Chain A
Amino acid sequence: MRRAQAIAAGFAVMALLAGCGGAAAPASGGTTASGAAAATTTGSSSAIPITFWDAYTGPLGADLQHLVDEFNSSQTQYQVKAVYKGTYPQVLADTIAAYRSHQAPDITMIFDVGTATMMDSQGVYEPVYKLMAQNNIPFATSDFVGAAASYYETAADHLDSLPFASSTPVLYYNKAMLAKINAQPPATWSQMGSVGAALVKSGVKNGFTIGWPDWTQFEQYAVWNAYPYATDDNGYTAVKGVQLLINTKPFVDHINQLAQWQKSGVFIYGGRESTPEPLFLSGKVGMYIDSSASYAAIAKGAKFAFGEAPLPYQNGDANAPQNTVVGGNSLWVMAGEPADVYPGVARFLQFLMSGPSQAYWAANTGYVPISTAGVTALTNQGFYAKNPYAMVAVKELTDKPALPTTRGIRLGDLSQIRDIENAAITAVFANKESAQQALDKAEQQGNAVLAKFASSY
């Protein structure tokens, strides 16, 4: 009797708890990115779903959704569902967590710095070049623009992921402000200083600011001026024993110079990623270094005429300007998904690299087309003739063939190294440490990260 009462009491509480857990079962499919929900119900209900995690919201999210919708309505067999997962680091973290709990998406968008982390985790993904071959879809590394291919290709020149959104840093400038001081957009860093100072003198609050400071002032700064960023061809030829070279003279001098300009108001540090953008849009600075992919957002937000110019280079260096490399992301196909998904994934990737898709993407976003078919399509449409600004990024990437040290940066846990670089430059700009001290420390911490990464593979 007593026992029965006990059991009943236990069950009553458990049942209530279970009610709470029962509600837990996710609604089928679960994911409803608000944009996707409205637009992608065209396919037949028997279509095989393909989940695609991305990092795009705002105008870029709408452009990506446009492509996804186009693919979905072009056939009835598959239904791609694009799911916004937050910022790039969040997508990588979510992908890893989901893989570890066996809930990975079919396709995931991994930013440039996550490339080595993915590539070295063999077994986690299906190499794209193999996937395409299995599904008899013509696919070669040479189908891609050189700079995009070289950034993502393996030592054996294969592409494990599909290069997708690719951009490169450029210099945006406020046309009226530069006209007022009678200046051309600066081509070199020393001109950056003089034009910046003239802007300040003319009444602008600060001369210039810099978006993505880690990416533009270390990685791209290195390749554009042909300074090695790390040993072993920036990590392309080795995993173990790679050492950073970011405390060498070219980097120290450059950060030092920026710190002095920061003091005099010529330069203002505005934060990581694209957070300094409002400074440019509100007219508090006259020049702004950021990704070419920020074009759409700037065009939408700027109430003034602005231009786009090549990234300044370091005068005095023989090879400068050399080439920039792409930043952005590539698409990885996760392993262990149901077999019937993969042919659809392959077709979707083929669609994304096609001339028309790439032309649409590049024309609307400011990204550069990654496939040669895309470049051809845009050229034939007369896009570059009408929009000369778009050539700036393409020329930076393709004018000179990359040297072994300027193909890209292939380091594990590169996002941590970026964190370290950011910590270092903020310490310098805040006058806490000298450039040499801060970069020496960053080099040491970065090398520890690299050694830790190598030891886990």
Chain B
Amino acid sequence: MRARRRREAGRHVLLIGLALIFLVPIYVAVVAASHSAGDLLAAFPYAPGGLLLRNLGRVLIAGFPNAAPVDRMLANSLVMALGISLGKLLISVPAAFAVVFFNFRGRMLVFWLIFITLLLPVEVRFFPTYQITAQLGLLNSYGGLILPLMASATATFLFRQYFLTLPKELADAARIDGVRPLQFLLRIVLPLSRPNLAALFVIEFVYGWNQYLWPLLTTTDTHYQTVVMGMQGMISIASSFGVPQWNLVMAAAILALLPPVLVVVAMQRWFVRGIAAGIN
């Protein structure tokens, strides 16, 4: 009995220790963001200073020279994350519904056209995709930030899998009762899919918010900069001062990571469900 309790205590010590190690980078960021730039130059101060709110306020409202203020970037990130997550749901649910509940000519072709995208995420074909986005005049626009990233079938695939688990009798009964397909989708299938919708929303929101390469390529106008891609610009601007403004960079980093982390923590159940979707 005592041995077991000792083992339990040992586990907690190990786990808490590791959890703290995971938190160290955040602590460093908070310490850096609460000092002046000059304080960081000589040696790292291990205790927080008193300038945290001032620095946060400064990047949020004034921002860095030649970059959008961080509040603008956060707003752009929000538009992008919501656009991608909602947009994906919006196109993938009907597509999955079509592939599962209808038997129409061309179904195979549609199926394969959509699911072939699973093979090649945007990171692999970013360069030609960029050329097309440019040709369509979508550089420096929300459409350019959002639409190309919707060309992935992960969500469609997940819904297809889920729809296939619904009993066939459900749809049969609906058809016999004279329920039209769209009514069936809206009144029966969607309410049943709520947990999956939530799970996908969380995952796709984080995916959209965290995009870096794509916004970096397609936005040259500060008006459309997102906060994640903005990190790169902020670092090089901060370094162009003789004393690098790391305190402000760290303040911006804190602001950039808070929204997705909060979403994941608050919607944890759905997040874990989404992550483990391949298993449950």
Touch between chains A and B, by CB atoms below 8 Å: yes
B140 touches A30 (CB 8 A): yes
A21 touches B147 (CB 8 A): yes
Interface centre among A101, A298, A302 (most CB of B within 10 A): A101
Task: Determine how close the nearest CB of chain A comes to the CB of B93; give it in whole angstroms.
Answer: 10
Given A26-B221, A27-B223, answer yes or no on A281-B242 (Cβ-Cβ < 8 Å).
yes
Task: Determine how close the nearest CB of chain A comes to the CB of B201; give it in whole angstroms.
Answer: 16
Task: Determine how close the nearest CB of chain B comes to the CB of A298; give it in whole angstroms.
Answer: 5
A281 touches B63 (CB 8 A): no
A257 to B185, CA, bound (A): 74
Interface-forming stretch among A121-129, A272-280, A423-431?
A: A272-280
Within A88-114, which residues are at the interface with B (CB < 8 Å)?
A: 94, 97-98, 100-101, 103
A87 to B130, CA, bound (A): 20
Task: Determine how close the nearest CB of chain A comes to the CB of B219; give it in whole angstroms.
Answer: 10
Interface-forming stretch among A31-39, A142-150, A153-161, A397-405?
A: A31-39
- Give the residue name and chain of the A residue nearest to B94 (CB): A13
A5 touches B180 (CB 8 A): yes
Given A30-B221, A34-B69, A282-B42, answer yes or no on A57-B144 (Cβ-Cβ < 8 Å).
no
The reply on A241 being an interface residue by CB < 8 A is no
B141 touches A24 (CB 8 A): yes
B243 touches A281 (CB 8 A): yes
- Give the residue name and chain of the A residue nearest to B37 (CB): A301
The reply on B239 being an interface residue by CB < 8 A is yes
Please name all residues of chain B whose beta carbon is closer than 8 Å to the beta carbon of A61 when the two chains form the complex.
Answer: 65-66
A405 to B198, CA, bound (A): 67
- Give the residue name and chain of the A residue nearest to B130 (CB): A97
A86 to B79, CA, bound (A): 23
The reply on A187 being an interface residue by CB < 8 A is no
Task: Determine how close the nearest CB of chain A comes to the CB of B260; give it in whole angstroms.
Answer: 21
The reply on A305 being an interface residue by CB < 8 A is no
The reply on A407 being an interface residue by CB < 8 A is no
Return the CB mask of B180-206 against A: 1 if under 8 Å, else 0: 101000000000000000000000000
Q: How many A-B pairs with Cβ below 8 Å?
A: 123
A24 touches B138 (CB 8 A): yes
The reply on A78 being an interface residue by CB < 8 A is no
Given A23-B143, A24-B144, A302-B242, answer yes or no on A34-B67 (Cβ-Cβ < 8 Å).
yes
- Give the residue name and chain of the B residue nearest to A85 (CB): B220
- Give the residue name and chain of the B residue nearest to A97 (CB): B134
A278 touches B240 (CB 8 A): no
A25 to B223, CA, bound (A): 12
Given A13-B94, A20-B143, answer yes or no on A282-B220 (Cβ-Cβ < 8 Å).
no
A33 touches B222 (CB 8 A): yes
B140 touches A86 (CB 8 A): no
A274 to B144, CA, bound (A): 34
A31 to B225, CA, bound (A): 11
A243 to B3, CA, bound (A): 74
B65 touches A35 (CB 8 A): yes
Return the CB mask of B29-46 against A: 1 if under 8 Å, else 0: 000000000000110000
Interface size, B (range) = 35 or more
Interface-forming stretch among B83-91, B166-174, B247-255, B264-272?
A: B83-91
A86 touches B134 (CB 8 A): no
A60 to B220, CA, bound (A): 20
Interface centre among B66, B67, B91 (most CB of A within 10 A): B66
A278 to B244, CA, bound (A): 7
A60 to B221, CA, bound (A): 20
Return the CB mask of B60-90 against A: 1 if under 8 Å, else 0: 0001111111000000000100010001001
A75 to B90, CA, bound (A): 52
- Give the residue name and chain of the A residue nearest to B41 (CB): A282
The reply on B139 being an interface residue by CB < 8 A is yes
- The contact of B90 among A13, A85, A97, by CB within 8 Å, is A13
The reply on A67 being an interface residue by CB < 8 A is no
A32 touches B222 (CB 8 A): yes
A86 to B217, CA, bound (A): 12
Please name all residues of chain A whose beta carbon is closer than 8 Å to the beta carbon of B137 when the two chains form the complex.
Answer: 101
Please name all residues of chain A whose beta carbon is closer than 8 Å to the beta carbon of B90 when the two chains form the complex.
Answer: 13, 16-17
Return the CB mask of B118-158 against A: 1 if under 8 Å, else 0: 00000000000011001101111111101100000000000
Given A23-B142, A103-B139, answer yes or no on A57-B223 (Cβ-Cβ < 8 Å).
no
- Give the residue name and chain of the A residue nearest to B238 (CB): A58
- The contact of B240 among A20, A21, A58, A299, by CB within 8 Å, is A58
Please name all residues of chain A whose beta carbon is closer than 8 Å to the beta carbon of B91 when the two chains form the complex.
Answer: 13, 17
- Give the residue name and chain of the A residue nearest to B67 (CB): A34
Q: List 12 extra interface pairs beyond A20-B146, A57-B240, CB under 8 A.
A: A23-B142, A24-B143, A30-B223, A34-B63, A34-B69, A35-B66, A56-B66, A57-B67, A98-B220, A274-B239, A297-B241, A302-B242
Can you list 28 A-B pairs, Cβ within 8 angstroms, ordered by A? A13-B91, A20-B143, A20-B146, A20-B147, A24-B141, A26-B141, A26-B224, A32-B223, A34-B65, A34-B69, A35-B66, A56-B66, A57-B64, A57-B237, A58-B240, A61-B65, A84-B222, A86-B220, A94-B220, A101-B139, A277-B242, A278-B242, A278-B244, A281-B243, A282-B42, A297-B241, A300-B243, A301-B241
